[in-house]
Structures are given as C-alpha cells and as structure tokens.
Structure 1
Amino acid sequence: MNKMANEFPQVLTIAGSDSDGSAGMEADLHTFFVRHVYGMAVVTACVAGNSYGIHASHPLPVDFIDQEFKDIADDFKVLACKTGMLADSELINCVVKNYKKYDLGPLVLDPVIMTKHGAMLLEESAYATLRSQLLPLATVLTPNFFEAEKLAEMTIKNDADMETAAHKLQKMGAKNVMIKGQHHDQNQTEVRDFALLESGKSFWLSAPYVNTEHVNGTGDSLSACITAEIGKGNSIESAIKTAKKFVNAAIANEIAVGHKFGPINHWAYQD
C-alpha cells in the first residue's frame, strides 16, 4: 500500500450542484481549491439555473447518495465536511445516517432554511428534521440572521439578542455557532457577525457592507472556508476569522460574470 496515500488534506461537501457555478457544490469546490485542500462532493441534487434565477431542480435517489458516501469513505481520508441545502426529511435523515456511519471529520452545518431576505426554503417537516436530527451533530453551525431567529425561536433586535440566540443554539447541540448578521439593508454601513465557541469564548466580527448583486454562494463559501481551514488543522476560532475575511474580500472585489445576480470572487483573498 502507498504510505503516502491520503496525506494531502481532503474535505467533503454534501450539497446540490448549481449549473451556473455560483453556489452549492460548485461554490464549495471553488473555495476548497483556493484554500489549498482537496475537495470532494456527495451530490444531493442537480439545479438548472443562471444569474437570472433557478429554473429546474432534480433530487438524486437516496440509494445513489448512500453509494456516494460509501465510495468516498472506502478510499479517502476526509478531515472535515459540510452540508448545503438538503431538500427534504428523507435526504436529511440519509445524511445523518451516513455521517454517523462513516468517519468524515467535524461537521460544518450551513442550515439552508431561509434566504437572507427571510423567505422560507424548507417545508416545516424538513425543517423539524434538520433541527432535531442534524443540528446536534454540528461542530460549527453557521445560520444567517433569519435562520438564527427561526432555530432559536426568538426575535433578534440587538447585540444582546444575538448572543442569547447563539447560546440557545449551542444548548441545542451545536458545539460552535457563528450567526451571520443582517445584510439586506442597503442603508447599512457594516455587517456584524457573532461567534460563540465550545469553550465559552465569544467574539464579534465586522466588515463594511458592500451594496452589490454579486453575492450568490456567500453562505456556501463561508461554511466551505471554515471546513477547509479545519481540514488543514486550524482551530475553530481561526477558521471562522479566516472565513469572514475570505468572504468579505470575495464580495468587495467583484468579477463580471452573469447579467444579474452574480457570483462572488473566490480569488480575491490571499494570505
């Protein structure tokens, strides 16, 4: 057997494929590549869309997804993994089953429940499954502002509320929590996120607000960057701070791709 096999850091995304490359599995793989880890994917669905919107989607059969998990676990050494949008309860239960079955490293859960504008993406039954079955497995949970309100079952009006919500999510099982602050108000000047670590340490992260339509895949890329940094052996705190810088640079330095809602610039942040 080759003693050098699997020494290079390898990470995994469990997500849908977006044909325009701006979000989902493709955004995760872009991020893995530029953060110097080898990225693999358990594909859960295929989405047809472009910068104007999503026009069709097709979920993959659960038995096929089971096989993807098995094949990756049989050959590779996954040091960290992350989830993207999981369409229904059957798929969420499939992910939970396979994560418990195989050693896939720490789990970064991007709970794709609601859009950054507050629109619900999951049916209530699937949301309940994610909240009760998948969330307790999370090493790092990265909800946006509205997802944090939904999961914590509270309204967030100020910094103190954000901190309370993070503690509630931690009590639900997530070891580390990063709540992304509001970024849908064109009049705001900064975006502030709050992180609560398993140790009890907490901190705020701030970056200038950028008024742009090139924000597709922002949440995917943030959680993917955290996954990549964990896979390289960096601490959770360091991973979260790097991910914030990475995404902020990717938003602030636009690339001209697509006619309307474009992707972020994954090459912008260099360290």
Structure 2
Amino acid sequence: MTTAKALTIAGSDSGGGAGIQADLKTFQELKVYGMSVITAITAQNTLGVDGVYPMMLEAIEKQLECIAVDLQPDALKTGMLFNSEIIELVANKMEQYKWKNLVVDPVMIAKGGANLLQQEATESMKRKLLPLATVLTPNIPEAEELTGISIRNMEERKEAAKRLSAMGVNYVIIKGGHGDEKEAVDLLFDGSHFSSLVAERIPTKNTHGTGCTFSAAITAALANGYSINDAFQLGKDFIHQAIKNDLHIGSGHGPTNHWAYQESKR
C-alpha cells in the first residue's frame, strides 16, 4: 500500500495550536505522512504572539531541497510565509519541482491581532504564489486584503471569489467564520460555479488555529486522492468537530481539538 505524503510550509507555533504543529497533527489524524518546512519561529501562546523570527532563506531552501530529493509530497500547503523573499523562494521551488495539489492558506493576521505577513508581501503572494495554487482558503478579512474590496454580504463574497479565481487559482474557498450569518457558511468557487457548506456556529473563543487546521485537512484529503468537493467536505467536517469539542487550554484564544474528528466517528 502506498503511503500518502503531505508537506506543510509554514511557521512554528510554540503554543501548538496553529502553524506547523496544527498541520502535522491534522495530517496524522487523517492518516497522511506529514513533512514540514519551517519558514519562521513564533513565540506565542493563547494570549498572543510575542515574537516572530523568520528563518534564513538558505535554511528554507535547504529544507525544500531535502524534501524534493527523497520525499515527494502528494499534496502540500503553505501557511505563514511572512515576507516577499520567502514567498518568492517557495514559488520558485514549487515550479522547479513541479509539485502539484498546492493549498494556499494566506495567513496574514494572528487571532490576537499580530501581523504574520508583511505588507509588501501581499503583492508577491498574488503575483507569484496564487497562480500555482490548486486551492486558496482565505477568511473574509484575508479575501478583502487580497482583492481590495469590502465584503459585507454573500454577493460581495462571491465577487471576491471571482477576483481571486482570476488571479490564477483553480478553486477558491472563502471561509465563513467571520461572517454574520447565524450559521457558518463556507463558499467554494471552481471558476464557473458556486457551492457552499453550512454548519452550526459554535459559540466559543477557542478558535486558535482553525484556518491552519481546515486547510491542512483539505491538503491531507488531496494527498489521499479525494476530489475537491470531497476534500472540501472533509475539511468542513474536521474543523467543525475540532471547534465543537474544544480543549479549554490556556487563558486566551485556545486551540481546537485535533483528535475530535476521529473520536466522533467511533
């Protein structure tokens, strides 16, 4: 039996709820072998981010090269890339290695408000990385930042998805966690048609790492050969259970529960 492999290119979260740590936990829960390229180290906990320390470009490049020569990923995702130099390096290596099934989680702002992407890096992301993306998974504020439009209702969400698709992305998923609907509505645009998944909105502050976990679940599904619609459904189910059965860890925005999905199936 062939083992599916997934790669996360992202920042390290010392609190364990987001970033590399959340991605690897999610891969493991979904029976995918996880690998990592660390782009930055953050000093953070549930109360916020106290420091961001980007890795040297040489260190990031060497990590990517080591994966490429021995452990070709079946799918991969990007999370926190922090600056334009890192984005351009990752994009160039993606093209060099011809890696497919790229999920881009455009991590820009931490749950506590800290900037995780430098301002000038947004243009590099749009110009270099998004044209390589199979799936893009912004929340509403990130979609606003990438498109330059205000998103206050579903029609504006659909317009933002169209604009993101026009940047070269195959599938755009705009997450509904920041929406004001009674239920959490995630919107998928495939370049021609819209579809959506709806789940009850869970009243909790323990949502640290939700974006990382959702995109990691989609990445794991693609690595396992799922269609985009099935990967979307798995991602939605996985994160819903993770939020619904939160862990109540820490004094701030606590992490989600990465083993809740598998527990719910027993």
TM-score by length of 1: 0.91
Structure 2 CA distance, aligned partners of 1:256 and 1:119?
Answer: 22
Structure 1 CA distance, aligned partners of 2:224 and 2:114?
Answer: 35
Q: Is the 8 A contact 1:116 1:144 kept in 2?
A: no
| More displaced stretch, 201-210 vs 33-42 | 201-210
Shift of 1:84: 0.5
Tell me the residue number matched to 1:228: 220
Q: Structure 1 stretches of 5 or more lacking a match?
A: none
Shift of 1:27: 0.4
Q: Is the 8 A contact 1:144 1:181 kept in 2?
A: yes
Structure 1 CA distance, aligned partners of 2:16 and 2:115?
Answer: 23
Tell me the residue number matched to 2:105: 110
Structure 2 CA distance, aligned partners of 1:60 and 1:118?
Answer: 22
Structure 1 CA distance, aligned partners of 2:110 and 2:187?
Answer: 18
Q: Is the 8 A contact 1:73 1:103 kept in 2?
A: no
Structure 2 CA distance, aligned partners of 1:17 and 1:122?
Answer: 14
Tell me the residue number matched to 1:46: 41
Structure 1 CA distance, aligned partners of 2:140 and 2:6?
Answer: 26
Structure 2 CA distance, aligned partners of 1:241 and 1:21?
Answer: 25
Shift of 1:105: 2.3
Shift of 1:182: 4.2
Q: Is the 8 A contact 1:42 1:68 kept in 2?
A: yes
Tell me the residue number matched to 2:119: 124
| More displaced stretch, 159-168 vs 90-99 | 159-168
Matches within 5 A, 1:159-198: 159-183=154-178, 189-198=182-191
Shift of 1:86: 0.9
Distance 1:17 1:119, change over 3 A: closer
Matches within 5 A, 1:1-271: 7-114=2-109, 121-183=116-178, 189-198=182-191, 200-270=192-262, 271=265
Structure 2 CA distance, aligned partners of 1:111 and 1:54?
Answer: 18
Q: Is the 8 A contact 1:44 1:65 kept in 2?
A: yes
Q: Is the 8 A contact 2:80 2:107 kept in 1?
A: yes
Structure 2 CA distance, aligned partners of 1:260 and 1:147?
Answer: 22
Question: RMSD of the TM alignment (CA)?
Answer: 1.9
Question: Which residue identity is paired with 1:221?
Answer: T
Distance 1:118 1:207, change over 3 A: farther
What count of residue pairs does the alignment treat as equivalent? 263
Shift of 1:261: 1.7
Q: Deviations over 1:142-187 (max 9, x none)?
A: 01001112222212222222112111111111100000124376xx
Q: Is the 8 A contact 1:116 1:183 kept in 2?
A: no
Q: Structure 2 stretches of 5 or more lacking a match?
A: none
Question: Which residue identity is paired with 2:196?
Answer: W
Structure 2 CA distance, aligned partners of 1:156 and 1:58?
Answer: 32
Identity between Structure 1 and Structure 2 (%): 43
Structure 2 CA distance, aligned partners of 1:135 and 1:37?
Answer: 24
What secondary structure is seen at the aligned counterpart in 2 of 1:251?
helix
Structure 1 CA distance, aligned partners of 2:162 and 2:142?
Answer: 14
Structure 2 CA distance, aligned partners of 1:184 and 1:254?
Answer: 21
Shift of 1:52: 1.8
Shift of 1:15: 0.4
Structure 2 CA distance, aligned partners of 1:72 and 1:250?
Answer: 29
TM-score by length of 2: 0.93
What secondary structure is seen at the aligned counterpart in 2 of 1:237?
helix
Structure 1 CA distance, aligned partners of 2:148 and 2:142?
Answer: 9
What secondary structure is seen at the aligned counterpart in 2 of 1:13?
strand
